[in-house]
Structure 1
Amino acid sequence: MQRWKQTSLVLCLIWIALLSTHSVVVQAGASPYHFGFKKSRNGQLPSIEQEGFKPILEKHEAIFMGSSREKELYLTFDNGYENGFTTDVLDVLKEKNVPAAFFVTGHYIQDQPDLMKRMVQEGHLIGNHSWSHPDMTTISSERIREELEKVRVETAKLTGQLEMPYLRPPRGIFDERVLEISRSEGYTSVFWSVAYMDWDTKKQRGKQHAYDNVMAQLHPGAVILLHSVSSDNAAALGQMIEDARKQGYTFKRLDQLKTRQY
C-alpha cells in the first residue's frame, strides 16, 4: 500500500511537470507577430490595418505612432551593441537640442557605461530592449520578467534613471502574452512608424541613403526607429533634424506623447 502511494505521488508530480512545460510551449508559440507597417509616402499616413495585430496593440496600449494632428516627431534608437557612432549621434542631438529614447540591452549596459550615463545626463530616455535580446514569444513568462527587470535595475544603478516605462520587444517580435506581461510590469511597448533597413553594418550606403529613406516617410506623430550602429544614420542625422524643422516639425520625448493612433 505504501509503495502504491509513493508510485502515485511520483506519477502525479511527473504529470504536473509535463502540464507546466506544455503550458509554456503553447503560450510561447501562440500567434507570434513580426511588427510591420505600410510606410508613409507622399504625406499619407502609415498603416497597420492589414497586419493582423492592431487589436492587441490597442488592447495593451502599445505605441505605434502619436497624434496625426500634431507635427511632432519622436526619435528612438535601438542600441544592442556599440559600433562607434553613438557619440556622434549624441553630439548632434546636443547641438540641435533634440531629445531621444535609447532602447538598450544588457550587453550595452555592461559594455558602454559612459555612454549610458551621458544619455541620461543630457536629458534622453533609456528604454528596455531586454537583457539578452531573445525572441520573447519563445521564452517563459518568468524569463520575460527577469529579462526586463535586470535591464531596469542595472540601468538605475548605473545612471540614476529610476523609472523605465518604455519597452521595445527585441526584433519587433511579439504576441499577446508578451504585451500583456510587459504591461503588467509597468511598460508601454513602443513600436515605430518610420524605419528602414539600417541595421546591417555591412550594407551601409552613405549619408544620402539614410536621409532619403527617413525624410520620405515623415508624417505627423511619427515614431522614428534608427539603429545607432549605422554610420549612415550618424552622418545624416543633423541634416534630417534641420530639414524636418524647416517643414514645421518639432521633436518630442516619448514621455510627451499624449495621444496615440492606430
Structure 2
Amino acid sequence: MLCVMISPWSEAFAYDQTAFGWGYKKNTEHNPPDAGKYGKMLDEYNSYYVDKSGEKVVYLTFDLGYEAGYTDMILDILKKENVPAAFFLAGHYITSATDLVKRMHEEGHVIGNHSYNHRDFTTLSEEKIKEELDKINKELNDAIGIRHTQFVRPPRGDFSERTLAITEELGYTSIFWSSALVDWGSQKGWNTAYKNIIDHIHPGAIVLLHATSKENALALEHLIPELRKRGYKFKSLEYLLWKEEVDLPYQFR
C-alpha cells in the first residue's frame, strides 16, 4: 500500500502565480480609487486596500524598515492628537529600534508584519514566506509579547493570488492602501505631502506613510486637524475588520 504525504502548502500551487505590483486609478472627486481586478482579488483572500463601508474614516499606516530619527516625533503627534495608527515593521527595525517598538505597543498602536528581510513574496516558496513572517513574530514576542501579528503588508506591495492565499491560510489579513505618499525620495516640503493626501482623501482611506523625514511628520501635524474639520475620524485597523465590536485601547475610544 502506497502512502502519500501531502504538504499543507501543496494546495497553494493551485493558485495563479502571476506577480503584480499594487496600484489603482486615482481620482480627485474624493471617492475611493478603482483597483480593478486587483481589488476583486483582494476581496477573495481576506485582504483590504480600503474600507468599503462608506464611513468617513481614515486609517494611518506606516511601513518601517529602518529608523531615520523621526518616529518619536510622529508618535508624539499621534499621542497629542489621540490618533491610532498601524506600524508595519521589518526585522531590522525591530532589532535596532526596540524602544520605539515598545512605545508603539504601549501607546496602543497596531504592530503589523512587513516580513523579516523585506523580500518580494512572489519570488519565495511557501515555506520561505512563512519563515519571513514567523521571524517577525518571534522578534516581536521577545520584545513586546506579541506571538502572532494579525496584519501583514507585502513588501513593496508585490503580490499574486498565490501569495494572498498563503498569507490568508497562515491566519493573516493583508493590508494594502488607497492613498500613499511617494515619500522615500527627495522631499519638497511638508505642504506637498499634505496636499497629496488632501487632494485624494476619501471615505475609508488606508493611507501609507513612511517615517523617513521631518516633512512627513509636519504634514501629519497639519493633516490630522484638517481631516477632522472635514468630518473624518481616525480608526485603528481592528475597526476595519470588526467595527463597533472591537475592543479598542481606551485612549482611542
- Cα distance 1:258–1:41, how it changes in 2: closer, same or farther (>3 A)? same
Unaligned 5+ runs, structure 1: 1-22
The aligned counterpart of 1:47 is: 34
Tell me how far 1:204 sits from its aligned partner: 0.8
Paired residues, what number? 232
Letter in 2 for 1:31: T
For residue 152 of structure 1, the aligned residue among 125, 137, 150 is 137
User: Whose Rg is larger?
Assistant: 1
Q: Write out aligned runs for 1:169-184 (5 A).
A: 169-184=154-169
Tell me the secondary structure at the aligned position of residue 152 of structure 1.
helix
Tell me how far 1:163 sits from its aligned partner: 4.1
For residue 230 of structure 1, the aligned residue among 210, 213, 225 is 213
Deviates more, 1:85-94 or 1:34-43: 34-43
For residue 60 of structure 2, the aligned residue among 51, 55, 75 is 75
CA RMSD for the aligned pairs? 1.9
The aligned counterpart of 2:223 is: 240
Q: Is the 8 A contact 2:32 2:204 kept in 1?
A: no
**1:130-177 Cα deviation digits (max 9, x unpaired):** 000001111111010000011012112201234410000000001111
Q: Distance in 2 between matches of 1:96 and 1:123?
A: 13
**1:201-221 Cα deviation digits (max 9, x unpaired):** xx0111101110011111111
Q: Is the 8 A contact 2:86 2:110 kept in 1?
A: yes
Q: Distance in 2 between matches of 1:189 and 1:229?
A: 23
The aligned counterpart of 1:17 is: none
- Cα distance 1:28–1:78, how it changes in 2: closer, same or farther (>3 A)? farther
Q: Distance in 2 between matches of 1:231 and 1:144?
A: 33
Runs (4+) of structure 1 moved beyond 4 Å? Answer: 26-29
Tell me how far 1:42 sits from its aligned partner: 2.6
| 1:37 paired to 2:20 | no
**1:82-103 Cα deviation digits (max 9, x unpaired):** 1111111000000000000000
- Cα distance 1:143–1:163, how it changes in 2: closer, same or farther (>3 A)? closer
Q: Is the 8 A contact 1:28 1:138 kept in 2?
A: no
Q: Distance in 2 between matches of 1:225 and 1:104?
A: 13
**1:55-80 Cα deviation digits (max 9, x unpaired):** 32111020110035201111100001
Q: Is the 8 A contact 2:32 2:205 kept in 1?
A: no
| 1:119 paired to 2:107 | no
Tell me the secondary structure at the aligned position of residue 134 of structure 1.
coil
The aligned counterpart of 2:43 is: 58
- Cα distance 1:218–1:106, how it changes in 2: closer, same or farther (>3 A)? same
Tell me how far 1:231 sits from its aligned partner: 2.7
Q: % of aligned pairs identical?
A: 46
Tell me the secondary structure at the aligned position of residue 133 of structure 1.
coil
Q: Is the 8 A contact 1:67 1:259 kept in 2?
A: no
Unaligned 5+ runs, structure 2: 1-9, 244-253
Q: Is the 8 A contact 1:209 1:232 kept in 2?
A: no
Tell me the secondary structure at the aligned position of residue 47 of structure 2.
coil
